[in-house]
Amino acid sequence: MDKKFDVIIVGTGATGLYAALNLPEDINALLVSKKELTLSNSSLAQGGVAAVLDTVHDSYKLHITDTLIAGKYKNTLDAVEKLVTEGPSDVLNIKELGVDFDLNEDGTMCKTLEAGHSRHRIVHHKDSTGKAIVDALIEVVKTRKNITILDNCLVYAIDKVLNGFYVSVVKDGESKTYGCNFCLLATGGIGRVYKYTTNSAIATGDGIAFAYMMGAKIKHLSRIQFHPTAFAAEKDRERFLISEAVRGEGAVLLNCEGRRFASDYDSRGELAPRDVVSNAVIRESIKTHSEKFYLDITHKPAEFVKNRFPMIYERCLEEGVDITVDKIPVFPCQHYLMGGIDVDTNSETSIEGLFAAGECSHTGVHGANRLASNSLLEALVFSRTAANVMTERLRKERKPLGRQPLKKPIEGKALPHGYRSQIREILQDTYFVLPKPEKAEESYNKVEQILSELVSDDFAVTSDYVEARSIAIVASIILEEFKEGIK
Protein backbone atom coordinates (compact mmCIF):
# COMPACT_ATOMS: atom_id res chain seq x y z
CA MET A 1 0.00 0.00 0.00
CA ASP A 2 1.39 3.37 -1.02
CA LYS A 3 -0.77 5.42 1.35
CA LYS A 4 -3.94 5.14 3.42
CA PHE A 5 -6.78 7.67 3.41
CA ASP A 6 -9.96 7.87 5.44
CA VAL A 7 -12.01 8.27 2.26
CA ILE A 8 -11.31 7.73 -1.43
CA ILE A 9 -13.69 9.40 -3.89
CA VAL A 10 -13.57 8.09 -7.46
CA GLY A 11 -14.88 10.75 -9.85
CA THR A 12 -14.65 14.54 -9.96
CA GLY A 13 -17.94 15.78 -11.34
CA ALA A 14 -20.33 17.75 -9.15
CA THR A 15 -20.94 14.63 -7.03
CA GLY A 16 -17.33 13.87 -6.18
CA LEU A 17 -16.34 17.50 -5.64
CA TYR A 18 -19.30 18.33 -3.39
CA ALA A 19 -18.79 15.16 -1.35
CA ALA A 20 -15.15 16.13 -0.75
CA LEU A 21 -16.16 19.64 0.32
CA ASN A 22 -18.59 18.20 2.87
CA LEU A 23 -15.85 16.25 4.64
CA PRO A 24 -14.44 18.11 7.67
CA GLU A 25 -10.78 19.09 7.74
CA ASP A 26 -9.76 16.30 10.13
CA ILE A 27 -10.77 13.63 7.58
CA ASN A 28 -8.21 13.06 4.84
CA ALA A 29 -9.56 12.22 1.41
CA LEU A 30 -8.17 11.21 -1.96
CA LEU A 31 -10.07 12.54 -4.99
CA VAL A 32 -9.33 10.54 -8.16
CA SER A 33 -10.06 11.85 -11.67
CA LYS A 34 -9.66 9.64 -14.76
CA LYS A 35 -8.73 12.64 -16.91
CA GLU A 36 -8.51 16.34 -16.11
CA LEU A 37 -10.73 17.59 -13.26
CA THR A 38 -12.97 19.58 -15.58
CA LEU A 39 -13.97 16.62 -17.79
CA SER A 40 -17.24 15.13 -16.55
CA ASN A 41 -20.89 14.79 -17.48
CA SER A 42 -21.62 17.42 -14.83
CA SER A 43 -19.62 19.98 -16.81
CA LEU A 44 -21.80 19.30 -19.85
CA ALA A 45 -25.07 19.90 -17.98
CA GLN A 46 -26.73 22.92 -19.53
CA GLY A 47 -30.20 23.62 -18.21
CA GLY A 48 -29.77 24.09 -14.47
CA VAL A 49 -30.75 22.80 -11.06
CA ALA A 50 -34.39 22.21 -10.11
CA ALA A 51 -35.13 23.48 -6.60
CA VAL A 52 -38.07 24.96 -4.73
CA LEU A 53 -36.60 28.27 -3.56
CA ASP A 54 -39.89 30.20 -3.67
CA THR A 55 -42.51 28.57 -1.46
CA VAL A 56 -45.07 31.30 -2.25
CA HIS A 57 -45.42 30.40 -5.93
CA ASP A 58 -44.11 26.83 -5.70
CA SER A 59 -44.07 23.96 -3.20
CA TYR A 60 -42.26 20.75 -2.34
CA LYS A 61 -45.46 18.87 -3.06
CA LEU A 62 -45.59 20.18 -6.63
CA HIS A 63 -41.94 19.31 -7.29
CA ILE A 64 -42.46 15.82 -5.83
CA THR A 65 -45.57 15.33 -7.98
CA ASP A 66 -43.77 16.48 -11.15
CA THR A 67 -40.92 14.07 -10.39
CA LEU A 68 -43.32 11.16 -9.85
CA ILE A 69 -45.28 11.89 -13.03
CA ALA A 70 -42.11 12.03 -15.13
CA GLY A 71 -40.85 8.84 -13.46
CA LYS A 72 -44.13 7.02 -14.21
CA TYR A 73 -44.67 6.58 -10.46
CA LYS A 74 -41.86 4.01 -10.34
CA ASN A 75 -39.80 6.31 -8.11
CA THR A 76 -38.75 5.56 -4.53
CA LEU A 77 -40.90 8.04 -2.63
CA ASP A 78 -38.70 8.60 0.43
CA ALA A 79 -35.72 9.30 -1.85
CA VAL A 80 -37.79 11.80 -3.86
CA GLU A 81 -38.92 13.54 -0.68
CA LYS A 82 -35.31 13.75 0.51
CA LEU A 83 -34.21 15.15 -2.86
CA VAL A 84 -36.86 17.85 -3.00
CA THR A 85 -36.90 18.96 0.64
CA GLU A 86 -33.14 18.94 1.27
CA GLY A 87 -32.01 20.11 -2.18
CA PRO A 88 -32.73 23.85 -1.85
CA SER A 89 -30.25 24.25 1.03
CA ASP A 90 -27.54 22.56 -1.06
CA VAL A 91 -28.26 24.92 -3.96
CA LEU A 92 -27.93 27.91 -1.63
CA ASN A 93 -24.74 26.39 -0.23
CA ILE A 94 -23.02 26.07 -3.62
CA LYS A 95 -24.06 29.65 -4.37
CA GLU A 96 -22.17 30.65 -1.21
CA LEU A 97 -19.22 28.53 -2.41
CA GLY A 98 -19.01 30.72 -5.50
CA VAL A 99 -21.33 29.28 -8.15
CA ASP A 100 -22.38 32.18 -10.37
CA PHE A 101 -26.13 31.68 -10.81
CA ASP A 102 -28.00 34.16 -13.01
CA LEU A 103 -29.72 36.76 -10.84
CA ASN A 104 -32.73 39.04 -11.20
CA GLU A 105 -32.40 42.77 -10.56
CA ASP A 106 -33.57 42.25 -6.97
CA GLY A 107 -30.74 39.75 -6.34
CA THR A 108 -32.90 36.62 -6.36
CA MET A 109 -31.93 33.71 -8.60
CA CYS A 110 -33.51 33.60 -12.06
CA LYS A 111 -35.83 30.63 -12.51
CA THR A 112 -36.80 29.09 -15.82
CA LEU A 113 -39.29 26.41 -16.90
CA GLU A 114 -38.36 23.04 -18.34
CA ALA A 115 -40.34 20.12 -19.70
CA GLY A 116 -42.34 18.23 -17.08
CA HIS A 117 -42.18 21.03 -14.48
CA SER A 118 -45.37 22.77 -13.37
CA ARG A 119 -43.52 25.85 -12.10
CA HIS A 120 -40.52 28.01 -13.00
CA ARG A 121 -38.00 26.48 -10.55
CA ILE A 122 -34.80 25.79 -12.51
CA VAL A 123 -31.95 28.05 -11.44
CA HIS A 124 -29.09 28.37 -13.90
CA HIS A 125 -25.95 30.01 -15.19
CA LYS A 126 -26.97 30.89 -18.75
CA ASP A 127 -26.85 27.56 -20.63
CA SER A 128 -23.73 26.13 -18.97
CA THR A 129 -24.84 25.56 -15.38
CA GLY A 130 -22.91 22.32 -14.91
CA LYS A 131 -19.63 23.92 -15.96
CA ALA A 132 -20.25 26.88 -13.64
CA ILE A 133 -20.84 24.50 -10.72
CA VAL A 134 -17.86 22.24 -11.43
CA ASP A 135 -15.45 25.13 -12.05
CA ALA A 136 -16.46 26.86 -8.81
CA LEU A 137 -16.25 23.69 -6.71
CA ILE A 138 -12.83 22.80 -8.15
CA GLU A 139 -11.45 26.14 -7.01
CA VAL A 140 -12.68 25.54 -3.45
CA VAL A 141 -11.45 21.92 -3.39
CA LYS A 142 -7.96 23.07 -4.32
CA THR A 143 -7.82 25.19 -1.15
CA ARG A 144 -8.65 22.28 1.20
CA LYS A 145 -5.54 20.81 2.83
CA ASN A 146 -7.30 17.55 3.74
CA ILE A 147 -8.05 16.74 0.09
CA THR A 148 -5.41 15.14 -2.17
CA ILE A 149 -6.16 15.32 -5.89
CA LEU A 150 -4.97 12.72 -8.41
CA ASP A 151 -5.91 13.67 -11.97
CA ASN A 152 -5.22 11.78 -15.21
CA CYS A 153 -5.22 8.66 -13.06
CA LEU A 154 -6.80 5.36 -14.16
CA VAL A 155 -8.48 3.23 -11.48
CA TYR A 156 -8.25 -0.38 -12.64
CA ALA A 157 -9.24 -2.36 -9.51
CA ILE A 158 -11.08 -1.86 -6.23
CA ASP A 159 -10.81 -4.65 -3.66
CA LYS A 160 -13.02 -4.99 -0.60
CA VAL A 161 -11.19 -6.12 2.54
CA LEU A 162 -11.91 -6.07 6.26
CA ASN A 163 -12.75 -2.51 7.37
CA GLY A 164 -12.23 -0.93 3.97
CA PHE A 165 -10.90 -1.04 0.45
CA TYR A 166 -7.75 -1.03 -1.65
CA VAL A 167 -7.92 1.08 -4.79
CA SER A 168 -5.34 0.30 -7.49
CA VAL A 169 -4.47 2.93 -10.07
CA VAL A 170 -2.12 3.62 -12.97
CA LYS A 171 -0.65 7.10 -13.31
CA ASP A 172 2.12 7.99 -15.74
CA GLY A 173 2.64 4.30 -16.45
CA GLU A 174 3.21 3.44 -12.78
CA SER A 175 0.89 1.28 -10.67
CA LYS A 176 0.03 2.29 -7.11
CA THR A 177 -2.45 1.10 -4.49
CA TYR A 178 -4.17 3.28 -1.91
CA GLY A 179 -6.13 2.09 1.10
CA CYS A 180 -9.23 3.64 2.65
CA ASN A 181 -11.90 2.91 5.24
CA PHE A 182 -14.67 4.25 2.99
CA CYS A 183 -14.98 4.55 -0.77
CA LEU A 184 -17.44 6.73 -2.69
CA LEU A 185 -18.07 5.94 -6.35
CA ALA A 186 -19.02 9.12 -8.22
CA THR A 187 -18.09 7.94 -11.69
CA GLY A 188 -21.05 9.22 -13.70
CA GLY A 189 -22.89 7.62 -16.57
CA ILE A 190 -22.61 4.97 -19.27
CA GLY A 191 -23.03 7.00 -22.47
CA ARG A 192 -20.09 5.41 -24.26
CA VAL A 193 -21.95 2.11 -24.28
CA TYR A 194 -23.94 3.71 -27.13
CA LYS A 195 -22.87 4.77 -30.60
CA TYR A 196 -24.27 8.27 -30.09
CA THR A 197 -24.43 10.04 -26.74
CA THR A 198 -24.40 13.48 -25.13
CA ASN A 199 -21.99 12.13 -22.49
CA SER A 200 -18.30 12.92 -22.15
CA ALA A 201 -15.58 10.57 -23.37
CA ILE A 202 -15.00 9.14 -19.88
CA ALA A 203 -18.61 7.99 -19.32
CA THR A 204 -17.92 4.27 -19.64
CA GLY A 205 -19.64 2.94 -16.52
CA ASP A 206 -16.41 2.14 -14.66
CA GLY A 207 -17.85 2.64 -11.18
CA ILE A 208 -20.81 0.39 -11.94
CA ALA A 209 -18.43 -2.28 -13.25
CA PHE A 210 -16.21 -2.07 -10.13
CA ALA A 211 -19.25 -2.32 -7.84
CA TYR A 212 -20.59 -5.28 -9.83
CA MET A 213 -17.24 -7.10 -9.64
CA MET A 214 -17.24 -6.60 -5.86
CA GLY A 215 -20.71 -8.11 -5.66
CA ALA A 216 -22.76 -4.96 -5.05
CA LYS A 217 -26.40 -4.93 -6.09
CA ILE A 218 -27.04 -3.25 -9.46
CA LYS A 219 -30.61 -2.17 -10.13
CA HIS A 220 -32.63 -1.01 -13.16
CA LEU A 221 -29.60 -0.50 -15.40
CA SER A 222 -31.91 -0.81 -18.40
CA ARG A 223 -33.69 2.41 -17.39
CA ILE A 224 -31.88 4.63 -19.87
CA GLN A 225 -33.01 8.09 -20.90
CA PHE A 226 -32.76 9.18 -24.51
CA HIS A 227 -32.81 12.95 -24.90
CA PRO A 228 -35.08 14.08 -27.75
CA THR A 229 -33.03 17.08 -28.86
CA ALA A 230 -29.34 16.32 -29.34
CA PHE A 231 -27.70 18.19 -32.22
CA ALA A 232 -27.87 15.86 -35.21
CA ALA A 233 -24.21 16.01 -36.22
CA GLU A 234 -23.29 14.08 -39.32
CA LYS A 235 -20.32 12.22 -37.86
CA ASP A 236 -19.58 12.99 -34.21
CA ARG A 237 -20.18 10.17 -31.72
CA GLU A 238 -20.46 12.72 -28.90
CA ARG A 239 -23.46 14.87 -29.77
CA PHE A 240 -23.90 18.10 -27.89
CA LEU A 241 -27.19 18.72 -26.20
CA ILE A 242 -29.75 21.31 -27.17
CA SER A 243 -31.03 21.92 -23.67
CA GLU A 244 -34.56 21.33 -22.44
CA ALA A 245 -34.50 25.01 -21.51
CA VAL A 246 -34.57 25.98 -25.21
CA ARG A 247 -38.03 24.41 -25.47
CA GLY A 248 -38.85 25.93 -22.09
CA GLU A 249 -38.16 29.34 -23.60
CA GLY A 250 -40.51 28.68 -26.53
CA ALA A 251 -38.66 26.63 -29.17
CA VAL A 252 -40.89 24.35 -31.25
CA LEU A 253 -40.12 20.90 -32.65
CA LEU A 254 -40.68 20.39 -36.39
CA ASN A 255 -40.66 17.32 -38.62
CA CYS A 256 -39.12 17.01 -42.10
CA GLU A 257 -42.12 18.85 -43.56
CA GLY A 258 -41.66 21.81 -41.20
CA ARG A 259 -44.79 20.88 -39.21
CA ARG A 260 -45.17 20.80 -35.43
CA PHE A 261 -46.11 17.27 -34.43
CA ALA A 262 -45.38 16.68 -30.71
CA SER A 263 -48.98 17.46 -29.72
CA ASP A 264 -50.16 14.65 -32.01
CA TYR A 265 -48.63 12.21 -29.50
CA ASP A 266 -49.15 14.00 -26.17
CA SER A 267 -51.22 17.03 -25.14
CA ARG A 268 -48.17 18.55 -23.44
CA GLY A 269 -46.46 18.84 -26.81
CA GLU A 270 -42.80 19.87 -26.75
CA LEU A 271 -42.93 20.23 -22.97
CA ALA A 272 -43.84 16.61 -22.27
CA PRO A 273 -41.20 14.56 -20.37
CA ARG A 274 -38.14 13.50 -22.33
CA ASP A 275 -39.12 9.89 -22.95
CA VAL A 276 -42.50 10.99 -24.33
CA VAL A 277 -40.95 13.49 -26.74
CA SER A 278 -38.23 11.01 -27.81
CA ASN A 279 -40.92 8.41 -28.53
CA ALA A 280 -42.87 10.98 -30.52
CA VAL A 281 -39.81 11.79 -32.65
CA ILE A 282 -39.07 8.13 -33.43
CA ARG A 283 -42.71 7.33 -34.23
CA GLU A 284 -42.92 10.42 -36.43
CA SER A 285 -39.68 9.33 -38.10
CA ILE A 286 -41.25 5.96 -38.95
CA LYS A 287 -44.40 7.71 -40.19
CA THR A 288 -42.56 10.20 -42.43
CA HIS A 289 -39.70 7.86 -43.43
CA SER A 290 -37.24 10.55 -42.41
CA GLU A 291 -34.81 11.31 -39.59
CA LYS A 292 -34.83 15.04 -40.35
CA PHE A 293 -36.14 16.95 -37.33
CA TYR A 294 -35.60 20.52 -36.23
CA LEU A 295 -35.88 22.75 -33.17
CA ASP A 296 -36.94 26.28 -34.08
CA ILE A 297 -36.47 29.30 -31.82
CA THR A 298 -36.07 31.87 -34.62
CA HIS A 299 -39.31 33.61 -33.60
CA LYS A 300 -37.58 34.90 -30.45
CA PRO A 301 -35.48 38.12 -30.56
CA ALA A 302 -31.91 37.36 -31.64
CA GLU A 303 -30.32 39.16 -28.68
CA PHE A 304 -32.48 37.24 -26.22
CA VAL A 305 -31.41 33.93 -27.77
CA LYS A 306 -27.71 34.87 -27.79
CA ASN A 307 -27.77 36.07 -24.17
CA ARG A 308 -29.88 33.19 -22.82
CA PHE A 309 -28.06 30.42 -24.72
CA PRO A 310 -24.54 31.70 -25.49
CA MET A 311 -22.86 28.31 -25.37
CA ILE A 312 -25.46 26.60 -27.58
CA TYR A 313 -25.39 29.57 -29.96
CA GLU A 314 -21.60 29.41 -30.32
CA ARG A 315 -21.51 25.61 -30.56
CA CYS A 316 -24.16 25.58 -33.29
CA LEU A 317 -22.28 28.31 -35.18
CA GLU A 318 -19.30 25.97 -35.27
CA GLU A 319 -21.56 23.51 -37.10
CA GLY A 320 -22.73 26.19 -39.53
CA VAL A 321 -26.09 26.81 -37.85
CA ASP A 322 -27.10 30.28 -36.62
CA ILE A 323 -29.94 29.48 -34.22
CA THR A 324 -31.30 33.06 -34.41
CA VAL A 325 -32.17 32.54 -38.09
CA ASP A 326 -31.74 28.80 -38.76
CA LYS A 327 -33.62 25.77 -37.54
CA ILE A 328 -31.48 23.42 -35.42
CA PRO A 329 -31.19 19.81 -36.69
CA VAL A 330 -31.94 17.45 -33.79
CA PHE A 331 -32.51 13.75 -33.13
CA PRO A 332 -32.74 11.61 -29.96
CA CYS A 333 -29.63 10.00 -28.50
CA GLN A 334 -28.47 8.40 -25.24
CA HIS A 335 -28.35 10.95 -22.45
CA TYR A 336 -28.82 9.67 -18.90
CA LEU A 337 -29.03 6.60 -16.69
CA MET A 338 -31.79 6.23 -14.08
CA GLY A 339 -30.55 2.90 -12.73
CA GLY A 340 -27.13 1.97 -11.39
CA ILE A 341 -25.46 0.83 -8.19
CA ASP A 342 -28.33 0.35 -5.77
CA VAL A 343 -28.07 2.55 -2.66
CA ASP A 344 -30.20 3.40 0.35
CA THR A 345 -31.10 6.94 1.42
CA ASN A 346 -27.65 7.17 3.08
CA SER A 347 -26.08 6.60 -0.38
CA GLU A 348 -24.62 3.29 0.85
CA THR A 349 -24.49 0.25 -1.41
CA SER A 350 -25.19 -3.35 -0.43
CA ILE A 351 -21.46 -3.59 0.49
CA GLU A 352 -20.69 -2.03 3.87
CA GLY A 353 -18.53 1.07 3.55
CA LEU A 354 -18.99 1.39 -0.21
CA PHE A 355 -21.03 4.42 -1.21
CA ALA A 356 -22.25 5.63 -4.59
CA ALA A 357 -23.85 8.90 -5.64
CA GLY A 358 -24.75 10.78 -8.79
CA GLU A 359 -25.52 9.15 -12.10
CA CYS A 360 -23.72 5.88 -11.36
CA SER A 361 -26.08 5.23 -8.44
CA HIS A 362 -29.67 4.06 -8.23
CA THR A 363 -31.37 6.10 -5.52
CA GLY A 364 -34.80 5.59 -7.05
CA VAL A 365 -35.48 9.33 -7.32
CA HIS A 366 -35.91 9.26 -11.10
CA GLY A 367 -38.15 6.24 -11.43
CA ALA A 368 -38.44 5.15 -15.07
CA ASN A 369 -37.62 8.59 -16.49
CA ARG A 370 -35.66 11.54 -15.06
CA LEU A 371 -37.34 14.90 -14.73
CA ALA A 372 -35.25 17.66 -16.29
CA SER A 373 -32.64 19.30 -14.01
CA ASN A 374 -33.15 16.85 -11.14
CA SER A 375 -29.75 15.28 -11.87
CA LEU A 376 -27.51 18.02 -10.50
CA LEU A 377 -29.82 18.25 -7.50
CA GLU A 378 -29.43 14.50 -6.89
CA ALA A 379 -25.64 14.85 -7.19
CA LEU A 380 -25.60 17.50 -4.46
CA VAL A 381 -28.07 15.96 -2.00
CA PHE A 382 -26.81 12.38 -2.04
CA SER A 383 -23.09 13.20 -2.17
CA ARG A 384 -23.47 15.46 0.86
CA THR A 385 -25.39 12.65 2.57
CA ALA A 386 -22.61 10.16 1.84
CA ALA A 387 -20.00 12.56 3.21
CA ASN A 388 -22.00 13.10 6.40
CA VAL A 389 -22.51 9.36 7.01
CA MET A 390 -18.84 8.53 6.38
CA THR A 391 -17.80 11.36 8.71
CA GLU A 392 -20.10 10.14 11.47
CA ARG A 393 -18.67 6.61 11.30
CA LEU A 394 -15.05 7.77 11.14
CA ARG A 395 -15.60 9.94 14.19
CA LYS A 396 -16.65 6.85 16.13
CA GLU A 397 -13.66 4.69 15.15
CA ARG A 398 -10.93 4.40 12.52
CA LYS A 399 -10.32 0.68 12.05
CA PRO A 400 -7.16 -0.95 10.61
CA LEU A 401 -7.49 -2.38 7.11
CA GLY A 402 -7.41 -6.07 6.36
CA ARG A 403 -4.63 -7.72 4.36
CA GLN A 404 -3.95 -6.26 0.91
CA PRO A 405 -4.67 -8.75 -1.91
CA LEU A 406 -2.01 -9.56 -4.49
CA LYS A 407 -2.03 -7.06 -7.33
CA LYS A 408 -2.52 -8.17 -10.91
CA PRO A 409 0.45 -7.13 -13.05
CA ILE A 410 -0.39 -4.28 -15.41
CA GLU A 411 1.74 -5.71 -18.23
CA GLY A 412 0.16 -8.03 -20.76
CA LYS A 413 -1.06 -8.49 -24.32
CA ALA A 414 -2.28 -5.58 -26.41
CA LEU A 415 -6.05 -5.29 -26.61
CA PRO A 416 -7.37 -6.01 -30.13
CA HIS A 417 -9.33 -3.19 -31.76
CA GLY A 418 -13.07 -3.34 -32.18
CA TYR A 419 -14.55 -4.61 -28.91
CA ARG A 420 -16.09 -1.29 -27.90
CA SER A 421 -17.37 -0.52 -31.40
CA GLN A 422 -19.11 -3.89 -31.58
CA ILE A 423 -20.88 -3.30 -28.26
CA ARG A 424 -21.97 0.21 -29.25
CA GLU A 425 -23.46 -1.05 -32.51
CA ILE A 426 -25.33 -3.79 -30.65
CA LEU A 427 -26.86 -1.45 -28.04
CA GLN A 428 -27.72 1.25 -30.59
CA ASP A 429 -29.54 -1.28 -32.75
CA THR A 430 -31.22 -3.40 -30.04
CA TYR A 431 -31.97 -1.08 -27.14
CA PHE A 432 -32.68 2.45 -28.36
CA VAL A 433 -35.85 4.56 -27.94
CA LEU A 434 -38.13 1.79 -29.29
CA PRO A 435 -36.32 -1.42 -28.22
CA LYS A 436 -36.35 -4.56 -30.39
CA PRO A 437 -37.38 -7.57 -28.28
CA GLU A 438 -36.71 -9.97 -31.16
CA LYS A 439 -32.98 -9.11 -30.96
CA ALA A 440 -32.58 -9.29 -27.18
CA GLU A 441 -31.33 -12.89 -26.87
CA GLU A 442 -28.90 -12.74 -29.77
CA SER A 443 -27.49 -9.37 -28.69
CA TYR A 444 -27.04 -10.53 -25.10
CA ASN A 445 -25.14 -13.62 -26.25
CA LYS A 446 -22.83 -11.52 -28.44
CA VAL A 447 -21.97 -9.18 -25.58
CA GLU A 448 -21.43 -12.11 -23.18
CA GLN A 449 -18.96 -13.62 -25.66
CA ILE A 450 -17.02 -10.34 -25.82
CA LEU A 451 -17.01 -10.07 -22.01
CA SER A 452 -15.72 -13.62 -21.56
CA GLU A 453 -12.84 -12.87 -23.96
CA LEU A 454 -11.98 -9.68 -22.07
CA VAL A 455 -11.85 -11.26 -18.62
CA SER A 456 -10.24 -14.57 -19.57
CA ASP A 457 -7.21 -13.19 -21.42
CA ASP A 458 -4.20 -11.46 -19.85
CA PHE A 459 -4.46 -8.05 -21.47
CA ALA A 460 -2.28 -5.12 -20.44
CA VAL A 461 -4.01 -2.76 -18.01
CA THR A 462 -4.65 0.34 -20.12
CA SER A 463 -7.53 2.80 -20.29
CA ASP A 464 -8.70 1.00 -23.46
CA TYR A 465 -8.84 -2.31 -21.61
CA VAL A 466 -10.51 -1.01 -18.44
CA GLU A 467 -13.12 0.92 -20.44
CA ALA A 468 -13.82 -2.00 -22.78
CA ARG A 469 -14.32 -4.27 -19.76
CA SER A 470 -16.64 -1.72 -18.11
CA ILE A 471 -18.68 -1.22 -21.28
CA ALA A 472 -19.04 -4.99 -21.74
CA ILE A 473 -20.20 -5.50 -18.13
CA VAL A 474 -22.70 -2.64 -18.35
CA ALA A 475 -24.05 -3.76 -21.75
CA SER A 476 -24.41 -7.33 -20.49
CA ILE A 477 -26.47 -6.21 -17.47
CA ILE A 478 -28.68 -3.93 -19.60
CA LEU A 479 -29.43 -6.64 -22.14
CA GLU A 480 -29.98 -9.28 -19.46
CA GLU A 481 -32.57 -7.03 -17.78
CA PHE A 482 -34.17 -6.34 -21.16
CA LYS A 483 -34.25 -10.05 -21.98
CA GLU A 484 -35.71 -10.99 -18.61
CA GLY A 485 -38.32 -8.22 -18.85
CA ILE A 486 -39.66 -9.66 -22.10
CA LYS A 487 -40.42 -13.07 -20.55
Strand partners for 43: none
Query: Comparing C-alpha atoms, which of 165, 184, 182 is closest to residue 18?
Result: 184
Quick one: which of 319, 318, 324 has its CA closest to 303?
324
Mean pLDDT of 355-364: 98
Mean pLDDT along residues 72-93: 98
The C-alpha R_g of the chain, in whole angstroms, comes to: 22
Residues 6+ apart with CB under 8 A from 123: 48, 49, 51, 53, 91, 101, 102, 109, 110, 111, 129
Cβ-based neighbours of 31, under 8 Å, separated by 6 or more: 9, 12, 16, 17, 20, 141, 147, 148, 149, 150
CB 275 within 8 A of CB 369: yes
Contacts of 103 by beta carbon, 8 Å cutoff, 6+ apart: 109, 110
Q: How far apart, in whole angstroms, are the C-alpha atoms of residue 302 and residue 359?
A: 35
Band of residue 243 on the pLDDT scale cut at 50, 70, 90: confident
pLDDT of residue 235: 67
Longest Cα–Cα distance in the chain: 67
Measured CA to CA, the distance from residue 240 to residue 131 in angstroms comes to 14
Determine the Cα–Cα distance for residues 373 and 349; give it in Å rounded to an integer. Answer: 24
Residue 237 is predicted with a pLDDT of 60
Give pLDDT, residue 244. Answer: 81
Sequence-ordered list of residues with C-beta below 8 angstroms from that of 46, at least 6 positions apart, any chain: 127, 128, 129, 130, 241, 243, 245, 311, 312
E strand segments, 97-194 = 111-112, 122-123, 147-150, 154-161, 164-171, 174-185
Q: What is the pTM of this model?
A: 0.92
Q: How far is CA 326 from CA 178, 252, 322, 431, in A?
A: 53, 13, 5, 32
User: Is residue 223 flagged as an active site residue?
Assistant: no
443-460 exposure pattern, b = at least 16 Cβ within 10 A, e = fewer: bbebbeebbeebeeeebe
pLDDT tens digits for range 392-425: 999 998 899 999 988 878 899 999 999 999 999 9
Q: Tell me which of 121, 223, 239, 274 is the catalytic residue.
A: 274
Contact 172, 343 (CB under 8 A): no
Asked which of 32-41, 114-123, 152-161 is least confident by mean pLDDT, the reply is: 32-41
Report the candidate in 179, 216, 206, 191 with the shortest Cα–Cα distance to residue 10: 206
Burial class (CB in 10 A: 0-12, 13-18, 19+), 286: exposed
- Reported as a single tens digit per residue, the pLDDT across 264-301 is 999 999 988 888 999 999 999 999 999 999 999 999 99
Q: Which of 411, 370, 6 is nearest to 184 (CA)?
A: 6
pLDDT of residue 114: 86
SS3 content of the chain, % helix, strand, coil (to 5): 40, 20, 40
Checking if the pLDDT of 41 tops 70, the result is: no
Between strands 29-32 and 147-150, the pairing is parallel
